[in-house]
């Protein structure tokens, strides 16, 4: 059962689209704010998570899709764990990112989508994150060329980073996992 408010048809369609993509019933959220209180990066967000969810409940498509919040969400699941109604705000933020991306809405945080693409590309290629490659490509493509020049050598010398990428032990399983995820993504769109 979905939230029933006097909304325009397009607003209701947006609400239903977010519910379908996230698998959540947004009517369950009663705006207690526990998701926002527990969010470790809420201080960086333009709207705390519970306000973004309220925006979706109210059919405020532009507010939700243009918010920095959906791009800054680290999907740590702290919000989802704290929710007394078992709503998954992290899943809702993910659904909003996917909708924004599909509609060509540009993130106000340009480096965040770049980081996501590079992170997933590293996992796809190596089976886990190759930190040195991720850092190098991120700094190159984001224009932060000298960002980690001071700390990287220290981390390499202490053995915290490896110059060589990890070997993939379960390459077939990883390819199957990505194929399933892409099929699910296509199904949701």
DSSP 67-103: -SHHHH-----HHHHH-TT---HHHHHHHHHHHHHHT
Query: Minimal CA–CA distance to 108: which of 51, 47, 55, 56?
Result: 47
Q: How far apart are CA 63 and CA 47, in angstroms?
A: 9
What pTM did the predictor assign? 0.70
Walk along the chain (189 residues) and give the pLDDT tens digit of each residue: 455 556 788 888 999 999 999 999 999 999 999 999 999 999 999 999 999 999 999 999 999 999 999 999 988 899 999 999 999 999 999 999 999 988 988 887 778 878 888 988 888 888 888 888 888 888 898 888 888 778 878 888 888 878 778 777 777 777 788 888 888 777 766
SS3 category, 146: coil
């Amino acid at each position: 059962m979905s939230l029933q408010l006097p909304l325009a048809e397009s607003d209701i369609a947006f609400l239903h689209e977010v519910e379908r993509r996230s698998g959540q019933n947004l009517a369950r959220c009663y705006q207690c704010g526990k998701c926002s209180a527990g969010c470790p990066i809420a201080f960086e967000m333009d709207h705390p998570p519970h306000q973004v969810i309220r925006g979706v409940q109210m059919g405020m498509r532009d507010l939700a899709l243009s918010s920095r919040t959906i791009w800054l969400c680290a999907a740590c699941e702290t919000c989802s764990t704290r929710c007394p109604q078992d709503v998954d705000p992290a899943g809702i933020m993910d659904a909003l990112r996917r909708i924004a991306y599909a509609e060509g809405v540009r993130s106000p945080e340009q480096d965040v989508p770049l980081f996501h693409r590079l992170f997933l590309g590293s996992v796809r290629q190596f089976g886990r994150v190759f930190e040195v490659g991720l850092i190098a490509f991120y700094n190159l493509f984001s224009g932060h060329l000298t960002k980690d020049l001071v700390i990287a050598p220290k981390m390499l010398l202490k053995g915290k980073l490896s110059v060589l990428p990890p070997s993939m032990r379960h390459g077939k399983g990883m390819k199957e996992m990505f194929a399933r995820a892409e099929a699910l993504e296509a199904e949701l769109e």
